Amino acid sequence: MTLKYVLGISALMSASLCSLAMAGTSQGYGMGGAFAPYDAVIAQANASGELFRIQGHCQSACTMFLGIRNVCVERSSTLLFHAGMDRKVITPAATARMTNMYNASLRNYVESNHFMDTRTLHPIPGSAIIDKFGYRECPKG
């Protein structure tokens, strides 16, 4: 093998590893909060097209990551849903902003079961998000 060939293979491997490291994740956003930081992550993830993983505990605004074009959900995750709030006050606009990020099946479910009416957190396991509501399961590894 020539040095040029070895360097080329090394560069390809480095680029692949960097791409994996850059894949988005919900880690660090799991406790929810104001919409603005989530909007920025969602916009960046949709612009890049990179796989975005929902992992672990994901409540409130974190559930809006379900609206990312190339999202996957880890089976072991737990997503927790409640009404949308603006300055700690439940509002129809904030709730709609959240539910509009969910697919029709999940949106129907959380609305018909009144998950989006109160501040109470309602958990749904990642396995149900995948099996019952049709979201993609994250690849292993």
Domain residue limits at 67: 24-131
pLDDT of 22 over the 80 cut: no
Q: Does residue 108 form part of some domain?
A: yes
Q: Does residue 36 form part of some domain?
A: yes
The answer to whether 117 and 91 have CB atoms below 8 angstroms apart is no
Q: Does residue 50 form part of some domain?
A: yes
User: Nearest-CA neighbor of 97 among 105, 85, 81?
Assistant: 85
Dist. CA 21–CA 29, nearest whole Å? 17
- Name residue 92's amino acid: P
Q: Does residue 13 form part of some domain?
A: no
Q: Does residue 19 form part of some domain?
A: no
Name the region of 36 (left: φ>0; alpha: ψ -120 to 50; beta: rest).
Answer: alpha
Number of domains observed in the structure of the chain: 1
Residue-wise pLDDT tens digits, 28-43:
999 999 999 999 999 9
Q: Does residue 125 form part of some domain?
A: yes
Cα end-to-end span (Å), the chain: 31
pLDDT of 3 over the 90 cut: no
Which pTM does this prediction carry? 0.83
